[in-house]
Structure 1
Amino acid sequence: MRLTLWTGFWVFLADQATKYLVVHALGLMERLQMEVIPGILSFRMAWNRGVNFGLFAGFDMRWVLVGLALAISAAVLAWIARDGGSWLARFSAGLLVGGALGNVIDRVLYGAVADFLNVSCCGIENPYAFNIADIAIFLGAVGLVLFGGDKAGPERRSGPTRRRGAKSP
């Protein structure tokens, strides 16, 4: 559980620090766009009031999304506390929880999530922006799918199982 909490803490801190640095200290709110690596990486200010890619942004879902993120974070922490899992599962849980809490703080403070990273390549213009929390949530969710859960097999859950086609005694 310690790995999960520390990972979550550092992800949360990195997310909030980068948002403060780029949005406030570098003035992205006023400038709206800054080229970092031309054609590849730019900072592009976007306030996401919806879910992924701004879906449902026309609805006032701020508090629903805050509640949902807190409920999912609590469920993941309870699951990890109960079952433990591999270090990769615990690390993944920390990524997901830290990222979710980073975006929760944005919704509480600003009413929307501050997205600013924009990556394009090879002449293809990407219209979407994201942040460190979004990356952590994605990696954490994928990690929990790949490394979470009971890997011991059915014997651990319900005792020995009979092979298919074997005759009963």
Structure 2
Amino acid sequence: MATKKKQLFSSTPQGGSGMMPWLGIAAIVILIDQLTKIAIQKTFVFREAKVITSFFNLTLTYNKGAAFGLLNDQPGWQRYFFTIVGVLAVGFIVYLLKRHAGQRLFCWALALIMGGAIGNVIDRVAYGHVVDFLHFYLSGVGDFPVFNIADCAICLGAGLFIYDELRRVNRQ
């Protein structure tokens, strides 16, 4: 088991497995993201919240802007801008996956980021905004921005990317 785990998250090339595993991971992220967004939209009305725990609600919100609602109040240009940024990012990620398909941890990070980016681009194209519903808060501290599965995948991918780079630097 430890050997499998080590191989799965190894940042060194392990033979030419190609891009299919990474595209598969991105597809799974997209599927989970879109299914959860559809379920929430069918179950909730805009701004409706359901308390799950003392620190977590499901709350349906829409974000026309970027992370943390940045530019959410703009007249609509951001929909096209962030859609184009997402598509360009996916193109660059595909290029990186082709060049580094054997670097497992790096590609895990890229696949998660790509799946999240595509999930949010789908929302922008289909609805004109991103559907968010995961709402964490701490009493005395306040609310965190509402987010979704795609955002989780992007953050996890970014964390893996940083971890992979730190491991690579420490090895040199």
Measured against the shorter chain, the TM-score band is 0.7 to 0.9
User: How many residues align structurally?
Assistant: 151
Higher Cα radius of gyration:
1
C-alpha displacement of 1:19: 0.7
Partner-residue secondary structure (3-state), 2:143: coil
Whether the aligned pair in 1 keeps the contact of 2:46 and 2:61 (CA below 8 Å) is no
C-alpha displacement of 1:57: 1.5
Partner-residue secondary structure (3-state), 1:12: helix
AA in 2 matched with 1:51: A
Match of 1:117 in 2: 134
Structure 1 CA distance for aligned equivalents of residues 87 and 109 of structure 2: 17
List aligned pairs for 1:4-43, cutoff 5 A. 4-24=22-42, 26=43, 28-30=44-46, 32-37=48-53, 39-43=54-58
Instruction: Give structure 2 stretches of 5+ with no counterpart.
Output: 1-18
How far does the alpha carbon of each residue in 1:51-71 deviate from its partner, in whole angstroms, 9 at most, with x for none? 011111222210110010010
Whether the aligned pair in 2 keeps the contact of 1:42 and 1:119 (CA below 8 Å) is yes
Structure 2 CA distance for aligned equivalents of residues 49 and 30 of structure 1: 14
How far does the alpha carbon of each residue in 1:90-128 deviate from its partner, in whole angstroms, 9 at most, with x for none? 111110010101001111111100011011235533152
Pick aligned residue for 1:2 from 16, 20, 41: 20
1:46 aligns with 2:61: yes
Instruction: Give structure 1 stretches of 5+ with no counterpart.
Output: 156-169
Pick aligned residue for 2:85 from 61, 68, 72: 68
TM-score of the superposition, structure 2-length normalised?
0.79
Partner-residue secondary structure (3-state), 1:50: coil
Match of 1:162 in 2: none
Distance 1:148-1:69 versus aligned 2 partners, 3 A rule: farther
Pick aligned residue for 2:111 from 84, 94, 98: 94
TM-score of the superposition, structure 1-length normalised?
0.80
Structure 1 CA distance for aligned equivalents of residues 164 and 135 of structure 2: 29
Distance 1:31-1:58 versus aligned 2 partners, 3 A rule: closer
RMSD after superposition: 2.4
C-alpha displacement of 1:85: 4.6
Distance 1:90-1:127 versus aligned 2 partners, 3 A rule: closer
Structure 2 CA distance for aligned equivalents of residues 148 and 4 of structure 1: 19
Distance 1:115-1:34 versus aligned 2 partners, 3 A rule: same
Pick aligned residue for 2:157 from 134, 140, 143: 140
How far does the alpha carbon of each residue in 1:66-91 deviate from its partner, in whole angstroms, 9 at most, with x for none? 01001011101101101225211111
Structure 2 CA distance for aligned equivalents of residues 106 and 11 of structure 1: 14
AA in 2 matched with 1:43: L
